[in-house]
Amino acid sequence: GFLPQIKKILSALPKERQTMLFSATLSQDIMKIATTTMKLPFRIEVSPSGTAPELVHQEIFIVKKDAKIRLLEKVLEEHPGSTLVFSRTKHGAKKLCRAVRAMGHSVEEIHSNLSLSKRRASLEGFKRGTHRVLVATDIAARGIDVTNIELVVNYDAPNSPEDYVHRVGRTGRAGKVGHAMTFLTPDQRGKLRSIEQLIRASVRITPLPELPPERAHTAQVEMRPSSYPTGSRPPSRPGQHHRGRSPRGRFRGSGHDRPYHRKRTHQRG
């Protein structure tokens, strides 16, 4: 993802230099980059690639999609320390941030839709403890270095086992004990097997606790247009247009914007 930026940086550096690469995982793609940008590199393994931090207690919850936000509410109630919550998409991160704020927690978000200054401000506030919860996409998984993160919550399953290792590695740093929870839907059990194969360890599946009742702010996170009763529309927000189009003339609702073509009208003269 950052290969163009890496190449641009390397092009500005002296040809004679010392280059060092550090990573919790070392995939074939990363090895290919290393061999093409480094001269006769040698590899030092402190632990096998993909090893999860020893001081991190890991557990899995198998939970239906429409109950995930209620489980998150329960988790945040029982774990008052600093918490990093991972969402799969930028849109999902924004919705999660709003929902967590409505639960009464101090929270900020960090993803690529935000300006660099806003991302820095969110991260600094999280480091200082101004915000107890930070909702992030994977853009933050490999760049956040905060030593006091007590809990990582994979609200959305990571795209790959390697991403899981990087996410979980945000806690349990500098010799401190950490905790990582992953929410998987029943049809995502295969992801657990892939994770266990990479980290060469089993991860405990924890029974679901009693969940809090559904509230308005939690229902909105998981609700999709198809979830509304037939013939009804989702509640309008200021400036919102129905028929799937926003005022700027782009489709909404799928999480992705698509341009559309306006129909031409001919006036008879």
pTM over 0.75: no
Question: What is the Cα–Cα distance from 110 to 112, expressed in whole angstroms?
Answer: 7
Question: What is the Cα–Cα distance from 183 to 65, expressed in whole angstroms?
Answer: 9
Higher pLDDT, 189 or 28: 189
Tell me the domain boundaries of the chain. 56-222
The pLDDT value given to residue 47: 59
- pLDDT of 208 higher than 90: yes
Q: Single out the residue of 33, 43, 31, 40 nearest to residue 9, CA to CA.
A: 33
Residues in contact with 160: Cβ distance below 8 Å, sequence separation at least 6, in sequence order: 194
The pLDDT value given to residue 24: 65
- pLDDT of 97 higher than 90: yes
The pLDDT value given to residue 202: 92
- pLDDT of 255 higher than 50: no
Tens of pLDDT, residue by residue over 9-39, are: 988 999 888 888 887 667 777 788 888 888 8
Can you read off the two tokens belonging to residue 42?
């040698």
The pLDDT value given to residue 244: 46
Can you read off the two tokens belonging to residue 173?
């740093």
Going by their DSSP bridges, the two strands 204-205 and 107-110 should be labelled as unpaired
Higher pLDDT, 59 or 238: 59
Residues in contact with 52: Cβ distance below 8 Å, sequence separation at least 6, in sequence order: 58, 165, 168, 169, 199, 201
3-class DSSP state of 180: strand
Q: Single out the residue of 151, 157, 199 nearest to residue 173, CA to CA.
A: 151
CATH superfamily of 56-222: P-loop containing nucleotide triphosphate hydrolases (3.40.50.300)
Higher pLDDT, 80 or 221: 80
Higher pLDDT, 25 or 90: 90
Percent of the chain with pLDDT over 90: 47
Q: In the chain, what is the straight-line distance between the N-terminal and C-terminal CA atoms, in Å?
A: 55
User: How confident is the model over 183-201, as a mean pLDDT?
Assistant: 94
Q: Single out the residue of 256, 89, 213 nearest to residue 157, CA to CA.
A: 89
Residues in contact with 109: Cβ distance below 8 Å, sequence separation at least 6, in sequence order: 93, 94, 96, 97, 122, 134, 135, 136
3-class DSSP state of 67: helix
